[in-house]
Amino acid sequence: MTQQTSIPAEEFIDAPTGWVRILDREALEIVRPLIPIVLNGQRLVLFRDEEGELGLIGRNCPHRGADLCYGRLENNGLRCPFHGWHFDRTGQCVEQPAEPEGSPMYKAIKVPMTPVEERDGGIWAFLKDGDTT
Ligand code: FES
């Protein structure tokens, strides 16, 4: 495994619609399995959660736009470095630390996500009209 503590350089990928191989599987075999991706001009973050599953979600936090690439990988998701909103691999917000206990507000918050899977030694993303879903 490659030793790495900082954020890898952005990967710029232009691709047609459908399932597209975006990286080799080994690209995420790093200490902090997270890579910034610009896919057809859209800024995304690819990460592997603690269950070994992949997430490919929008990079800008919907709160104040912080770059989620600088967030913490924890509890099967990515926690925003600014105010701590926590997103799972589907882009769904699962926690807002500053909200009153019991607040359901987080349920209405989601960042865009692109379907992603591993197969044939690669990491594949599904592009629908070049957009995230
Ligand atoms: S900018 Fe992400 S939680 Fe505030």
List, as one string, the DSSP characters of 37-48.
EEETTEEEEEEE
Phi first, then psi: give them for residue 44, nearest 5 degrees.
Answer: -130, 165
Q: Which fold has domain 11-127?
A: Rieske Iron-sulfur Protein (2.102.10)
List, as one string, the DSSP characters of 74-112.
ETTEEE-TTT--EEETTSBEEE-TTSPTT--GGGG-B--
Distance CA 3, CA 38 (A): 23
Distance CA 19, CA 16 (A): 9
Q: Measured in angstroms, how far is the CA atom of residue 78 from the centroid of ligand 1?
A: 12
pLDDT tens, position by position, 47-87: 999 999 999 999 999 999 999 999 999 999 999 999 999 99
User: Is the CB of 68 within 6 Å of ligand 1?
Assistant: no
Q: Report which protein residue has its CA nearest ligand 1's atom 1.
A: 64
* Whether pLDDT at 3 is above 90: no
Mean pLDDT, rounded, of the chain: 90
Phi first, then psi: give them for residue 68, nearest 5 degrees.
Answer: -70, -10
